[in-house]
Amino acid sequence: MHCWTLVLNEQFEIKQEEGNDTPSVIAIPREPADMSCDGVSNPAGPDAGYNAHKGPHCGLGYMAQIVDTYAGDDGPAHETAPRSPDLITHVAGRGMTVHDGHRLPDALGDLADRSLTPKVLLADSRYGSADNMTLAGERSIDLTSPARTAKGGSSGRLTHEDFSLDDVGLGVIRPDGVAPVSTRAASAKLQARFDLAICKGCLNKDRCPVQADKHDGQFARFQYTPTRAQNQKRRLCESSDAFRETYRWRAGMTRPCHA
């Protein structure tokens, strides 16, 4: 009974209808966007949830994090030597309401507790956050993961990745080759200042993150974080043959770990 009450409260808005001699209670279905993704949607599986990004129409369920080993191709000698078996080294089942990237610390902790810490860890972009990269580095793990797609790129807007890096790798140069008048680097934020007159005459100003029309004076400021600059360097690395050779074992199949 308690579980059914939770379902009714989370999926329906309970209202008391006035106006009659005998007040009645009615249940109005809530819109999917108004229901919590970690609520009880099915009393038969109260812990099951749905992915908040994809929505409830994709179904309820659970998420499993799996780490397993793989045997790479080491050349002609590898073809004659016995092939090492692929082994599953970590499995964890969780609800679908927590982002994949937040599960990596638990997986690495479990592997370390059982002396199974990998040297190389291949993972998809959801696991490649700056925090996870730092955590893996502290554990002497080479976490190989593509950087996530820059926000705004899918809508046709210019992003930080459309600007090229300067020789130091932090300052940015406009897509048309115009360099900033000055740059400033701080621990939390980086800044490039462009000539405002040039920016206001740019054909891309309406889709540019510099937003020249919002500035007055002589300069237009473009502020970004060190993480964005680091992600751009990672994307440049991802276009290299060395990255593709390493990551092909993850890109073509579910083989997230090389012990």
Tell how far CA 38 is from the center of its chain: 20
- Is residue 173 within 8 A of residue 158, CB to CB? The reply is no
Predicted local distance difference test score (pLDDT) of residue 9: 61
Amino acid at 243: F
Predicted local distance difference test score (pLDDT) of residue 253: 47
Grouped pLDDT means (10 residues each) for the chain, 259 residues: 49 67 68 59 60 56 83 59 79 76 90 93 88 92 84 71 74 83 82 89 86 85 81 80 86 47
Each residue of 113-137: b (16+ CB within 10 Å) or e? eeebbbebbbbbebbbbeebbebbe
Predicted local distance difference test score (pLDDT) of residue 80: 61
Say how far apart CA 198 and CA 196 lie, in whole Å: 5
**Domain spans of the chain, in order of start:** 2-58, 62-145+233-258, 158-224
Predicted local distance difference test score (pLDDT) of residue 42: 58
Tens-digit pLDDT profile for residues 190-247 = 888 899 999 988 888 888 888 888 888 888 888 888 777 777 778 778 888 888 888 8
Does residue 72 sit in helix, strand or coil? coil
Q: Which of 48, 22, 26, 21 is nearest to 37 (CA)?
A: 48
Predicted local distance difference test score (pLDDT) of residue 86: 82
